[in-house]
């Protein structure tokens, strides 16, 4: 543990519950030392096992009960510890202490997740990603349970079970796993015009991130900040990754799902182990209460975002993940988030989606973790001690002293006391409430297309192509033509070209939207909440395109060095040093995992054999210099494997660098027939070639050249 981690109050609290088996004897759960862990107790060597074998019974009983229910949504996830540091005080807006004092550090645990798949599903599913942060503040736990997309599919919690049932595997045959490309999801979506903005995001490359470290995080709903004078501001929360927002290609995602379904989990784990700590800027968009109605959308509507052109994001803090969990189940699986875990100075709004969440999260922990004492599980404990009169329940850990478990009391001197506001006692925002009880949707929520248009307008050409093709992919898996037609009808409200592009490729025509006439009251039929086509007030917004993201870093990018015996040592070492100095990770790929002997006798140990890894696991490739090495790689047995490996990286628009004497390899690949200049294909020609390669890696991909790179066969 380094000094920073020792100072982390949450980590020191966890130490009390952490064990280490190093140099210890095996024991039962009662602490009894075990002398034989190989054989059960029997009537004879070949006899029946005795019921009295309490050691066997304990071991098997525990094993029988090892599984707990997985999360109903967000089951597949990975997490890490870290710290949140405040760089700019928000005291003007909120009295939350962790957001007041510049320089203050608050321990955090962050869990990233996919939504639809089971706990064992692939990381690379086309899906929204969860981005849930637990801040262990001095005033109690504050949970910001967000996503990597700033809006949501539905406007009201009432529709959440329907949405989730629609996207999960279909109930008759439990197919498909971790995928939205099926009938029931698109049936639901085609009837829910309010989903269309989120559909634009979910079909964009945001739904197939390169890494958890390269995703944004959003609180999604509008929340409230309350300052010490009681003044209220609306706030939207943002996390912006220092490494930029980057994605993989869809064909790459599908292949990664086979070659390394733990791709994101591994990436997070390894970058932290390697000291390349993932970092985000934390930002807020702040809107004074009196400006609530200044927008052409409702701040309470979770299918809308606040364009950064209207309200800039103020960057006020840094989130850094610097420590992997010691135990996945104890920490990542048992962590229990809840948007209702608040601290003074932060409050909810009436967003009807958020309001429903406030019920759901404690409820789900009860079924998942099995007891109302889930807050006592070490990862869930607040760093300040809990004092209240709640008692007992399954698996109670806390030993609360004294006779008294009620309030008011005189026997216990009235303790624990209620805290006054000035002592940090939480008070809800004193909002005036006046209205009729109705089961209805506000008219201010019925505009479903203008922000979907804004998102589509904001995309670069390659991003638009990817989005269109994602829709084509998904809808091609829908077996009901009328559903495909309805979705296309919805798309037509967003963009005519988009609708006709998709229609042509999924075998339907663009028609006037025909919503089924269901036998329910018209005003309660979601299909009737269809809005008119409307132009967005903000036509397009820079922040919505990944094209405009950070592209000047190669930190933690994985560069595959392809080499064989006879490779040029000097050349390998020099480039490796340059890349590693900038924080990239170099991994050697050999013809097999056997040691590679270089031209001067130096031994390189490959991490991978080219036969057992695919180029999708790398951000860029270097074909190392050396005649002998090239000769071995171009041996008839190796040649097809090596060329396919490189061709695939080419197809995925990656940077590929050819060292000296590698023309034979270059000529064997599809790259040799390229017709135009390609800044990410570099030959070692001059002193600045290495620098060009570094720049190409930092740019992530040459998406602009995707058509060209894929068109030659």
| Segment interacting with ligand HDE, rule: CB under 6 A, options 99-107, 353-361, 390-398, 498-506 | 353-361
How far apart CA 135 and CA 315 sit, in angstroms, is: 18
Of the candidate residues 74, 224, 233, 453, the single one contacting ligand HDE (CB under 6 A): 74
Helices 461-476 and 250-259: crossing angle in degrees, nearest 10, is 60
Rg from Cα positions in the chain? 28
d(CA 329, CA 86): 30
194-253: contacts with ligand HDE (CB under 6 A): 220
160 is in an annotated binding site: yes
**Tokens 């309010």, residue?**
194
Residue with tokens 């220092």: 242
Asked whether the CA dihedral 174, 180, 186, 190 is positive or negative, the reply is positive
DSSP string, 54-76: HHHHHHHHHHHT---PPPSSS-S
The answer to whether 117 and 75 are in contact (CB under 8 A) is yes
Which residues contact residue 663 at a Cβ distance below 8 angstroms, ignoring those fewer than 6 apart? none
Q: Identify the residue among 113, 271, 318, 490 touching ligand HDE (CB under 6 A).
A: 113
Instruction: Tell how strand 655-658 and strand 217-218 pair up.
Output: unpaired
Q: Name the helix (H) or strand (E) containing 110.
A: strand 105-114
Q: Taking the complex as a whole, how short is the minimal distance between the CB of residue 514 and ligand HDE, in angstroms?
A: 29
CA distance 463 to 469: 10
Residue 364 sits in the site that holds ligand HDE (CB under 6 A): yes
What is the C-alpha to C-alpha distance for residues 204 and 163, in angstroms, rounded to an integer? Answer: 19
Site for ligand HDE in 82-111 (CB under 6 A): 111
Instruction: Find where tokens 């339907």 sit.
Output: 508
Strands 620-623 and 558-562: parallel
Catalytic status, residue 147? yes
Residue 157 interacts with ligand HDE (CB under 6 A): yes or no:
yes
**By the rule CB under 6 A, 78 interacts with ligand HDE:** no
In the stretch 409-448, what mask flags binding to ligand HDE with x, by CB under 6 A?
Answer: ----------------------------------------
Q: Which residues within the stretch 279-318 sit at the binding site for ligand HDE (CB under 6 A)?
A: 302
Q: Which residue, 365 or 530, is less far from ligand HDE as judged by CB?
A: 365
Which residue has its beta carbon closest to ligand HDE?
A: 130
Q: Is 77 in the site for ligand HDE (CB under 6 A)?
A: yes
Q: How far is the CB of 222 from ligand HDE (least distance, A)?
A: 11
CB closer to ligand HDE out of 238 and 709: 238
Residue selected from 10, 71, 246, 486 as contacting ligand HDE according to rule CB under 6 A: 71
Q: Which of 100, 141, 147, 324 is catalytic?
A: 147
Q: What 3 state SS string does 306-374 have?
A: CCCCCCCCEEEEEEEEEECCCCHHHHHHCCCCCCCCCCCCEECCCCHHHHHHHHHHHHHHHHHHCCCCH
Q: How far is the CB of 657 from ligand HDE (least distance, A)?
A: 38
Report how far residue 205's alpha carbon sits from residue 207's, in angstroms, rounded to the nearest whole number: 5
371 binds ligand HDE (CB under 6 A): no
The reply on whether position 360 binds ligand HDE by CB under 6 A is: yes
- The residue within the footprint of ligand HDE, chosen from 1, 60, 68, 72 (CB under 6 A), is 72
Binders of ligand HDE among residues 320 to 339 (CB under 6 A) are 336-337
Q: Is 129 annotated as a binding residue?
A: no
User: What is the nearest approach in angstroms of ligand HDE to the Cβ of residue 159?
Assistant: 8
Q: How far is CA 220 from CA 31, 209, 244, 476, 535, in A?
A: 48, 18, 20, 30, 22
The pair of three-digit structure tokens given for residue 175, joined into one six-digit string: 């197919």
Contacting ligand HDE (CB under 6 A), which of 133, 179, 189, 353? 353
Contact 616, 248 (CB under 8 A): yes
Identity of the residue, 321 or 336, whose beta carbon is nearer to ligand HDE in the bound complex: 336
Q: Closest CB to ligand HDE among 302 and 626? A: 302
Please say if 676 is a catalytic residue.
Answer: no
For the bound state, the minimum distance from the C-beta of residue 664 to ligand HDE, rounded and expressed in Å, comes to 50
Give me the least distance between CB of 216 and ligand HDE, in Å please.
Answer: 13
Whether the bond between 669 and the residue before it is cis, its omega within 30 degrees of 0, is no
Kindly tell me which of 149 and 245 has the beta carbon lying closer to ligand HDE: 149
Of these residues, 8, 74, 148, 246, which one is catalytic?
74
Report the residue from 100, 147, 211, 285 that binds ligand HDE according to the rule CB under 6 A: 147
CA dist., res. 412 & res. 406, Å (int): 9
- Smallest separation, CB 638 to ligand HDE (Å): 44
Whether residue 301 is preceded by a cis peptide bond, meaning omega within 30 degrees of 0, is no
Segment contacting ligand HDE by CB under 6 A, of 140-148, 451-459, 548-556, 574-582: 140-148
Q: Least distance from C-beta 145 to ligand HDE, angstroms?
A: 5
Using the rule CB under 6 A, is 528 a contact of ligand HDE? no
374 contributes a contact to ligand HDE by CB under 6 A: no
In terms of CB distance, is 312 or 340 closer to ligand HDE?
340
C-alpha distance across the termini of the chain, in Å: 53
Q: Does 356 bind ligand HDE (CB under 6 A)?
A: yes
Beta strands in 194-303 (DSSP E): 217-218, 223-226, 232-241, 279-288
Give yes or no for residue 269 binding ligand HDE (CB under 6 A).
Answer: no
The H or E element spanning position 627 is helix 627-633
Judging by DSSP bridges, how do beta strands 681-683 and 655-658 pair with one another? Answer: parallel
132 near ligand HDE (CB under 6 A): yes
Tell me if 700 sits within 8 A of 552, measured CB to CB: no
Return d(Cα 4, Cα 579) in angstroms, integer: 27
Query: Looking at 160, 250, 269, 328, which residue binds ligand HDE (CB under 6 A)?
Result: 160
Residue numbers at the binding site for ligand HDE (CB under 6 A): 71-74, 77, 111, 113, 130, 132, 145-147, 152, 157, 160, 220, 302, 336-337, 353, 356-357, 360-361, 364-365
Catalytic site positions? 74, 147
Q: Which residues are annotated binding-site positions?
A: 71, 111, 160, 357, 361, 368
Detail the residues annotated as belonging to a binding site for heme.
71, 111, 160, 357, 361, 368
């Amino acid at each position: 543990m380094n000094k920073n981690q020792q100072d982390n109050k949450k980590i020191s609290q966890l130490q009390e519950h952490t064990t280490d088996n190093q140099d210890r004897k095996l024991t039962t759960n009662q602490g009894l030392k075990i002398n034989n862990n190989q054989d059960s107790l029997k009537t004879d060597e070949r006899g029946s096992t005795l019921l009295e074998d309490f050691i066997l019974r304990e071991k098997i009983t525990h094993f029988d009960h090892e599984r707990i229910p997985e999360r109903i949504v967000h089951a597949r996830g990975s997490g890490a510890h870290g710290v949140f540091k405040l760089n700019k005080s928000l005291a003007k807006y909120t009295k939350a202490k962790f957001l007041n004092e510049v320089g203050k550090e608050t321990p955090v645990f962050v869990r990233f997740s996919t939504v639809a798949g089971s706990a064992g599903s692939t990381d690379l599913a086309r899906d929204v990603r969860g981005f849930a942060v637990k801040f262990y503040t001095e005033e109690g736990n504050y949970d910001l349970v967000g996503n990597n997309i700033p809006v949501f599919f539905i406007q009201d919690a009432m529709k959440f079970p329907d949405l989730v049932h629609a996207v999960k595997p279909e109930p008759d045959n439990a197919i498909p796993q971790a995928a939205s490309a099926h009938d029931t999801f698109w049936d639901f979506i085609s009837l829910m015009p309010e989903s269309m903005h989120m559909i634009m995001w979910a079909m964009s490359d945001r739904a197939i991130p390169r890494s958890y470290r390269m995703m944004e995080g959003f609180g999604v709903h509008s929340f409230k900040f309350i300052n010490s004078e009681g003044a209220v501001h609306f706030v939207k929360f943002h996390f912006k990754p220092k490494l930029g927002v980057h994605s993989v290609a869809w064909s790459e995602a599908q292949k990664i799902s086979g070659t390394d379904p733990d791709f994101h989990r591994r990436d997070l784990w390894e970058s932290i182990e390697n000291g390349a700590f993932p970092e985000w800027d934390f930002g807020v968009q702040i809107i004074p209460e009196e400006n609530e109605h200044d927008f052409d959308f409702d701040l309470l509507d979770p299918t809308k975002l606040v364009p950064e052109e209207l309200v800039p994001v103020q960057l006020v803090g840094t989130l850094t993940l610097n420590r992997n969990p010691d135990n996945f189940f104890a920490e990542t699986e048992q962590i229990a988030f809840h948007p209702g875990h608040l601290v003074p100075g932060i409050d909810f709004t009436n967003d009807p989606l958020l309001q429903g969440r406030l019920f759901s999260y404690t409820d789900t922990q009860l079924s998942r973790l099995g007891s109302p004492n889930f807050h006592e599980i070490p990862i869930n404990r607040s760093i300040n001690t809990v004092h209240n009169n709640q008692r007992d329940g399954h698996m109670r850990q806390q030993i609360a002293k004294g006779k008294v478990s009620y309030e008011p009391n005189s026997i216990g001197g009235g303790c624990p006391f209620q805290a006054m506001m000035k002592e940090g006692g939480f008070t809800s925002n004193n909002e005036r409430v006046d209205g009729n009880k109705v089961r209805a949707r506000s008219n201010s929520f019925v505009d479903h297309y203008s922000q979907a248009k804004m998102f589509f307008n904001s995309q670069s050409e390659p991003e638009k192509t990817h989005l269109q093709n994602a829709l084509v992919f998904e809808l091609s898996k829908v077996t009901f033509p009328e559903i495909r037609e309805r979705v296309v009808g919805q798309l037509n409200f967003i963009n005519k070209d988009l609708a006709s592009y998709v229609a042509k490729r999924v075998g339907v025509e663009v028609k006037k939207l025909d919503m089924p006439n269901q036998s329910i009251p018209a005003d309660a039929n979601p299909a009737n909440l269809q809005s008119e086509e409307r132009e967005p007030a903000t036509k397009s917004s820079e922040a919505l395109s990944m094209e405009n993201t950070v592209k000047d870093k190669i930190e933690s990018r994985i560069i595959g060095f392809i080499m064989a015996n006879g490779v040029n040592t000097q050349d390998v070492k020099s480039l490796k040093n340059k890349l590693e100095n900038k924080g990239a990770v170099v991994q050697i790929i050999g013809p097999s995992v056997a040691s590679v002997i270089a031209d001067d006798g130096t031994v390189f140990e490959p991490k991978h054999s080219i036969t057992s890894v695919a180029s999708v696991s790398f951000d860029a490739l270097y074909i190392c210099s050396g005649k002998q090495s090239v000769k071995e790689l171009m041996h008839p047995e190796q040649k097809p494997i090596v060329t396919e490996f490189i061709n695939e990286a080419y197809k995925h628009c990656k940077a590929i660098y050819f060292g000296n004497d590698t023309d034979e390899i270059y000529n064997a690949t599809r790259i040799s027939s390229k017709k135009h200049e390609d800044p990410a294909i570099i030959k070692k020609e001059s002193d600045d070639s290495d620098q060009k390669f570094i720049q190409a890696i930092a740019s992530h991909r040459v998406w602009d050249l995707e058509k060209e790179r894929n068109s030659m066969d």
